[in-house]
Amino acid sequence: MHLLANTVLAVSLSFAAGAGAAGAGAAPGAGAAAPPPGGVPLIPRAQLFGNPSRIQGRLSPDGRWLSWIAPRDGVLNVWVAPAAQPDQGRPLTNERTRPLRQHFWAPDSRTILYVNDTGGDENFLLYGVDVQTGAQRTLTPFEKTRVQIVGISPLVPDRILVGLNDRDPRWHDVHSLDLATGRLTLVLRNEGYGGFEADQQLNLRLASRPNAAGGSDWFRIVDGRVEEKPIASIGLDDSQTTAPLGFTADGTTLYWLDSRGRDTAALVAEEFATGRTEVLGQDPRADVGGVLSHPRTGVVQAWSSEYLRETWNALDPAIAKDLEFLRNRLQGEIDVTSRTLADDAWLVVVDPVNGPAATWRYDRATQRLTQLFVNRPELVGAPLVPMQPLELKSRDGKTLVSYLTLPPGSDANGDGRPEQPVPMVLLVHGGPWARDSYRFDGEVQWLANRGYAVLQVNFRSSTGFGKAFISAGDRQWARAAHDDLLDAVEWAVRNGIAPRDRVAIMGGSYGGYAALAGLTFTPKTFACGVSIVGPSNLQTLLDSVPPYWEAFREQLFRRVGDPRTEEGRALLRERSPLFRAQAIERPLLVGQGANDPRVKQAESDQIVDAMRAKDIPVTYVLFPDEGHGFARPENAIAFNAVAENFLAQCLGGRAEPIGDVFRGSSVQVPHGARYAPGVEAALRAP
């Protein structure tokens, strides 16, 4: 769990304002602008941040159905079609306001399940819809409750395990949910456990409890009772890189991602009865990040690690042939996203990085590949650009895996450097316990298209590169973690990527904090900053974390700063941009969702109020129906319209006029509309 990744059902959602997969329909007036000198047209914002045509394809376990998420009347909903007739799709849900961003099949292949919240409040409820009849039910009909999926198994088709914090907002009681009747039966009352692991018979086998070291202790569950003595104790250093992955179907083997006794997380198989372990895969440069498991047996067949790019390693010779075939036939980053229970058909997503992703069906027996859809067909043929993986060095010798994207036409000889320096946006990821990757990124392509080099840096605290790299960022907010960003900017200037006086810093959540830190702690380094849902006061941030983060609280205090001690409070104040607001001398744009439960609106209000009190220009954009990021496409497009015109004023890049894209958005500008070009006129537009 971390500050900036919005995780439900272990599926990570992007925080970003207008992150590609979470967008919706084109806003009125968002047409293409005239081509600039040089002949490279502006890509309309709506094509990058509006609704994708289709995303998230899934095969039903029995292979009869194909589902996906696509717009219905301008809002993302779940669709379904017979797998043999993918062109016969029909909408299955009818969400009218909040886009659906994830769905999954119940093991009976008769029901599609999905979660959604209200206005970004992250009180996710679970819904089920019958594929044949379209009848829909709210399966967890509770207020101010956040559902967790504890267990789903193909061996138990009629029920699943869910966690509900309706009794105590800090802890999730485990219930068995009957899919046919919707009946919830209490399995375990939770008195202080942060997570559970069930086997494929849906028996609870393990429970984790936070420990005083900032990690967690894992306990066996026998006959519904949690044993008193832990079988594993994980400390702070291993807390981000060690966790169970699941049991085999026979319940004899438990898989772990495990960094104990090593730096990077390895794939480990534990013989559960004896505790004997075997390392199945490891990479000295990067953590094991993903696995492919047989849909019936649960046996892990392949694993991946991602250093500069993701690589897959097969354990099962049968699947090795499939992976090799896919690598040879499909160009791009390949992810297997869905497999039938018989394992005769897969869905494979291919990400070319400089183009929109496509979803293919792969029939294993015949090795037949059929393209089903492209996520954003309107981007096919658009002037999209490649991403370059880099290894940069920090001032203390750490390797910073980074990615550089150059504006189209700037690198005529293809050597990875512009012919002359171009303005640059340092785009900082959230988390900080997350990472940037070699993937198609609509935000990156948008900025590059507007004329900017885009530099993404995996600074210390970033995940994926071992526990030592994560721990090196502990209590280093606005210190060594920020120095890594400054070192990357210095590299870019020294190597002719960007002129020193035309670099902006931009990001969301922790990236938003980094933008505020950049303008307050190093006020002359950046030409301007864009902070999206960024915390400004670390004390109030930690005072207001959601109650369901209780299991994470000790780790958070140890990695950021401990508000329970005088020394910790002094550190938090020292590292808070709010108390250095008077140092800001460059333009700032702030974006915030009013319902954000992680970085509350007060974090943006405070920094804006402090700047107003000192008469320092700042533009504040607020969305009353959003949370930790902007999910509604109308809002995403509206914010990015402001942002690109703001950046154009600061850096001299290009911008599509704001026009009337505020129409249909909930956008409010409580302060500073006059400081961002076109905003006042857009607010007056009918």
Name the residues annotated as catalytic. 509, 596, 628
Q: Is the peptide bond before 377 cis (omega within 30 degrees of 0)?
A: no
Rounded Cα–Cα distance for residues 638 and 664 (Å): 9
Query: Residue 91: helix, strand or coil by DSSP?
Result: strand
Whose CA is closest to 67, among 14, 110, 125, 26? 110
Which H or E run includes 338? strand 333-339
Q: For residue 259, is it left (φ>0), alpha (ψ between -120 and 50) or beta?
A: alpha
Virtual CA dihedral for 435, 233, 468, 477, nearest 10 degrees?
Answer: 60
Q: Classify strands 204-210 and 216-222 as parallel, antiparallel or unpaired.
A: antiparallel
C-alpha angle 572-576-579 in degrees, rounded to nearest 5: 115
Rounded Cα–Cα distance for residues 362 and 358 (Å): 13
Q: What is the DSSP string of 20-56?
A: GGG-BSPPTT-PPPPPPTTS-PPPPHHHHHB--S-EE
Strand segments (E) across 55-192: 55-59, 65-72, 75-82, 90-91, 103-105, 111-116, 125-130, 136-138, 148-151, 159-168, 171-178, 184-188
Residue pair 507/428 in contact by the 8 Å Cβ criterion: yes
The values of phi and psi at residue 296, to 5°, are -95, -45
Whose CA is closest to 526, among 603, 420, 426, 645? 426
Helix ranges, 12-102 (H):
45-49
Query: Residue 84: helix, strand or coil by DSSP?
Result: coil
Residues 6 or more apart whose Cβ sits within 8 Å of residue 499: 421, 423, 493
Q: Please give the DSSP secondary-structure letter assigned to residue 182.
A: -
End-to-end CA distance of the chain: 43
HSE of 537 in the Cβ direction (CA atoms, 13 Å)? 18
Residue pair 137/93 in contact by the 8 Å Cβ criterion: no
Rounded Cα–Cα distance for residues 418 and 495 (Å): 10
The values of phi and psi at residue 60, to 5°, are -65, 155
Would you state the structure tokens that stand for residue 634, as one six-digit string?
A: 């109308």
